[in-house]
Amino acid sequence: MDMSQPIGRTPLDETTDGLLGRPIDRVEGRLKVMGAAPYAYETRELKDPAYGTLVEATIAKGRIVTLDVTAARAMPGVLHVMTHENVPPQGPKKEQVGPVLTGPEIVHHGQPIAFVVAETFEQARAAAALVKAEYAVEKGAYDLRAAKPDAVEPKPMQTPPDSALGDFEGAFAAAPVKLDVEYTTPVQTHAMMEPHATIGSWEGDHVTLFTSNQMLNRGQVSLASVLNLPPGNVRLVSRYIGGGFGGKLQPQADAIFAALASKAIGRPVKVALTRQQEFHVTTRRSDTIQRLRLGADAEGRLSAIGHESWSDTTPGDGFFETSANATRSLYAAPNRMTKHRLATLNLPVSSSMRAPGEAVGMLALECAMDELAEQLKLDPIALRIRNEPEQDPEKQVPFSTRQLVPCMREGARLFGWDKRQPAGTARDGQWRVGMGMSAAARLNPLMASSAAIRLETDGSVTVRMAMTDIGTGTYTILTQIAGEMLGLPVEKVRIELGDTRFPKAAGSGGSFGAGSTGSALYVACDALRQKIARAADLTLDGIHFADGRVISGNRSEALADVARGGVIEAEGEIEPGDMTKKFSQYSYGAHFAEVGVDADTGEVRLRRMLGVFTGGRILNAKTARSQAIGGMTFGVGAALMEEVTIDQRYGHFVNHDLAEYHVPVHADIPAIEAVFLPELDDKANPLKSKGLGELGICGAGAALANAVYNATGLRLRHYPLTLDKLLAGFAAQEGTAQRRS
């Protein structure tokens, strides 16, 4: 089916206390804690593997003059050393997946220059250390601000890079109240638990890759292009993934090297990137420079909104951070302008990282709204409510659902927003205390997906699709959907995921995974229900499923009895249709944060945090909450600590490990809660659900930044808000106070 019209009443609407929505535990949880849910590198299905190790370039721009692999080849156990001089021919780049070892040119630090394969991991690593390269070094570009004047308008990515409505410049110039500010965000890295890893093996002209990848069918097509194979000759298997956050949307160098090396030596090859290699060899979130201009009347009604963003990526790539996209729909204003510009730097490739665009864009937009509220002497919530649009202000179509205002009001009530004090006035001993809030919004897409389901002769069902679970609970929610539709308990539902031999699926990413693949499963279950009814000679009117039985009128049959003559199979698929064109579809929420800032050291501590969200039908209350507070924690990291530091001399990421690239730990998150308001969205998908995976991060960091301002009276516009910036602000405050005295 496709989403060309709103969804009417469905079997999921019939029960109010069914399996779907309940906070059941992860169905694969026991396997994981017992070590029986192997990640890619741990699989034992491919026997007698060799081990591969990458060698990285130690310069950021230039050419390899000589590459000496003689000593490496002579090391014990070494089976193969691959360089640009002997790499097999490869096909063209597809999306952001391109051939490796393409020549002597180096365009960023850490670019792979060789791949060593040996009998053991230790032998491969030791041999890789003996690869010696001499370079002709050229001057590289590593600074976004320096490259900003030469940034260009990028090619569209799903949406145009620029948008305009009305006369922004004229309206802004004429506005009685104006705000014109610049915010910056740094390079960030995904820092997922499981590093990129692949085991590759060939049978004739078919290759199988056990790999860590979020979107298998997309990766299958990309790798087939690079490997010069038909897509059907490439099989990807990713049954369990230890996190991705967008870093595993595309196959990375580990997968390509594993495939090429396995072909070369005629046996499976295993490769896992080290944590240090993750920083340079895989993708990153770009740093951004963002200019926000808001024009309003004296009552706070916006007449002009302008949001310009600059980001960067590696030579030859076109990905840009869509920082201004959320600004296009969040607040009403008749005159609007958004622009994105892209600079080319000699840094690793930029790509999607959790909530690309909104995550960094709302760090700026939601703080700018707070600044405008302060200028107008308005409560920040009141300002947002005053600019609530009646329809999408740029697409000029209705919202499918929009409960942003209820989220803000309920959050204010639960958080005690009425106790917020004027900036710089609240104290708790040594700590300056403040509250901040922000809106949350994340696009809700629907992607084509399909599913197969089979009623077994014992009355259980088996579901198959090429979907992945990156730790978000996919196995569990799909179990709940099938169980709800067919009246089966959890233990009677088997979900098989993560294999391109199964029906094609959207994969995990963009907050579309659950809605898209869950909808495909819903359609498959609906088809199976009809086949079961016909097999049991029951009428479809009033049919329902419960306790492992199919029931119609005064007749009831056990599913095991219906399938006694053989398994019953059905398939289902979902297509986006045109609902996303007719309606503006977002998930919404509101963040509230309270922080303490040490008056002497400038240390910022989160004291408590609340998110109130709407995401359509909640498929599992426990996994939904987990996703929300995980995103909020991500936002805390973005606000207070996450930053890749670039050595401007050499284009090197200095803090390329988890000892110095700081992410929040338990002690950083003392009290955090997520609440969901009831909602069904019949324009979104057959489940009437919406995406939640990225909503929690959108705006979360801005709530902390606004709380820091409320605590200290300091408006910091350059993330992360580290203590050195606060100490400089304290010094400026003291200097101002002394001059006034």
**Which residues are known catalytic residues?**
694
Side chain identity at residue 23, one-letter code = P
Cα torsion angle, 321, 193, 276, 197, sign? negative
- Structure tokens given for 257: 């090297």
**What do you get for the CA distance between the two ends of the chain, in Å?**
73
What is the length of the chain?
741
Number of Cβ atoms within 10 Å of the Cβ of 707: 30
List C-alpha distances in Å: 741 to 458, 707, 737: 85, 28, 6
Q: Is the CB of residue 194 less than 8 Å from the CB of residue 43?
A: no
Side chain identity at residue 244, one-letter code = G
Q: Is 125 exposed, middle or buried (0-12, 13-18, 19+ CB in 10 A)?
A: middle
Residue 492 to residue 455: CA distance in whole angstroms: 10
The Cα angle at residue 266 between residues 262 and 272, in degrees rounded to 5 = 25
Local structure of 553: helix, strand or coil:
coil
Residue 337 to residue 308: CA distance in whole angstroms: 8
Cα torsion angle, 253, 254, 259, 263, sign? positive
List C-alpha distances in Å: 39 to 208, 211, 471, 650, 706: 15, 8, 11, 35, 40
Find, among 439, 505, 642, the residue nearest to 216 by Cα.
505
Q: Is the CB of residue 465 less than 8 Å from the CB of residue 508?
A: no
Catalogue the long-range contacts made by 17-20 (C-beta closer than 8 Å, 24 or more residues apart): 18/484, 19/480, 19/483, 19/484, 19/489, 19/490, 20/480, 20/481, 20/483, 20/484, 20/617, 20/619, 20/620
Residue 291 to residue 184: CA distance in whole angstroms: 9
Residue 131 to residue 34: CA distance in whole angstroms: 39
Peptide bond into 720 cis (omega under 30): yes
437: left (phi over 0), alpha (psi -120 to 50) or beta: beta
Find, among 576, 448, 733, 711, the residue nearest to 5 by Cα.
576
Strands 672-676 and 604-614: parallel
